[in-house]
């Protein structure tokens, strides 16, 4: 009986801002990864594409105008952390799935790891650093009172997601909190305390 020929799939390498990020031979895995990239707005180039050109962007961040000279597809998170030293928003999954990088763009919560600088235009960006002058936003005070964080890594993203929630819905029910916060992951499992803190803050806004 003739033995089946081994199937050889072509290697595929995806690049983000010049860095090799995915390499593999399994078409289904590559397809899922590509879908993730489209879904989250990340930019990728197949090997051999030229790097993008640099451009100057004026950004409104935490009430100040900032200027950066970067490639148009640079994710906002890179700009905040690497160019402007605003390191409250964290890098974790990098594909828009965990929420650690959440910031506000015109009061809407977005995942900054997949949000290209060229999409920002005149929008106003708020990060955890710009939420209050002395860390006394009602959500920050409630977070402290309920003692929410464990390791703390996800917490800036959680708070910014909660800010967007309370702007839209100042008195959310438990179900509405769970629905909105569902996609912000916490490896320490602080979900109950996060919900309690949001409810507490909602009584003070
Ligand atoms: S790092 Fe942006 S969603 Fe996970
Ligand atoms: S507090 Fe540790 S990941 Fe959320």
Give the pLDDT band (50/70/90) at residue 42: very low
The mean-pLDDT minimum among 17-31, 86-100, 139-153, 164-178 falls in 17-31
Q: Which residue puts its alpha carbon closest to atom 4 of ligand 2?
A: 186
Strands 108-111 and 102-105: antiparallel
Is residue 147 classed as helix, strand or coil in its secondary structure? Answer: coil
* Residue whose C-alpha is closest to residue 26's, from 40, 7, 42, 47: 7
Question: Measured in angstroms, how far is the CA atom of residue 8 from the centroid of ligand 1?
Answer: 33
Residue 65 near residue 59 (C-beta atoms within 8 A): yes
At 52, the pLDDT band (50, 70, 90 cuts) reads low
What's the whole-number average pLDDT of the chain? Answer: 84
Task: Specify the ligand 1 atom closest to the Cα of 77.
Answer: 2
Residues with CB under 6 A from ligand 2: 149-155, 186-188, 190
- pLDDT category of residue 144 using cuts at 50, 70 and 90: very high
Domain 138-202 sits in CATH at: 1.10.150.120
pTM above 0.85, yes or no: no
In contact, 139 and 80? CB cutoff 8 Å: no
Mutate to test the pocket of ligand 2, among 128, 150, 160, 183 (most ligand atoms within 8 A of CB): 150
Can you give the pLDDT at residue 205?
86
Which residues fall within 8 angstroms of residue 28, CB to CB, at 6 or more apart? none
Q: How far apart are CA 176 and CA 89, in angstroms?
A: 24
The pLDDT score that the predictor gives to residue 31 is 47
Query: Which range among 13-27, 45-59, 113-127, 168-182 shows the weakest confidence by mean pLDDT?
Result: 13-27
Residue with tokens 């967007």: 164
- Give per-residue pLDDT as tens, 147-162: 999 999 999 999 999 9
CA of 4 to the centre of ligand 1 (A): 42
Closest ligand to the CA of 188: 2
Tell me if residue 169 falls in helix, strand or coil.
Answer: coil
Q: Which CATH architecture has domain 55-129?
A: Roll (3.10)
Instruction: Give residue 41's pLDDT.
Output: 43
Q: What are the extents of the domains in the chain?
A: 12-46, 55-129, 138-202
CA distance from start to end of the chain:
76
Q: Which residue has the tokens 């959440």?
A: 102
Please give the pLDDT value at position 51.
59
């Amino acid at each position: 009986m003739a033995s089946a020929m081994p199937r050889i799939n072509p290697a595929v390498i995806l690049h983000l801002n010049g860095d090799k990020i995915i390499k593999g031979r399994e078409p289904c895995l590559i397809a899922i990864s590509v879908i993730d990239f489209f879904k989250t707005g990340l930019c990728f180039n197949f090997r051999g594409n030229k790097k993008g050109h640099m451009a100057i962007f004026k950004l409104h961040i935490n009430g100040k105008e900032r200027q950066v000279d970067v490639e148009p597809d640079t994710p906002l998170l890179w700009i905040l952390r690497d160019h402007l030293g605003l390191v409250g928003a964290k890098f974790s999954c990098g594909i828009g799935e965990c929420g650690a990088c959440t910031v506000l763009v015109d009061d809407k919560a977005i995942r900054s790891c997949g949000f290209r600088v060229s999409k920002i235009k005149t929008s106003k960006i708020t990060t955890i650093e710009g939420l209050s002058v002395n860390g006394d936003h009602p959500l920050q005070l409630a977070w402290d009172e309920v003692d929410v964080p464990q390791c703390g890594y996800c917490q800036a993203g959680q708070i910014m997601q909660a800010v967007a929630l309370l702007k839209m819905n100042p008195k959310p029910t438990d179900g509405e909190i769970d629905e909105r916060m569902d996609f912000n992951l916490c490896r320490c499992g602080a979900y109950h305390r996060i919900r309690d803190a949001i409810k507490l803050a909602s009584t003070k806004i």
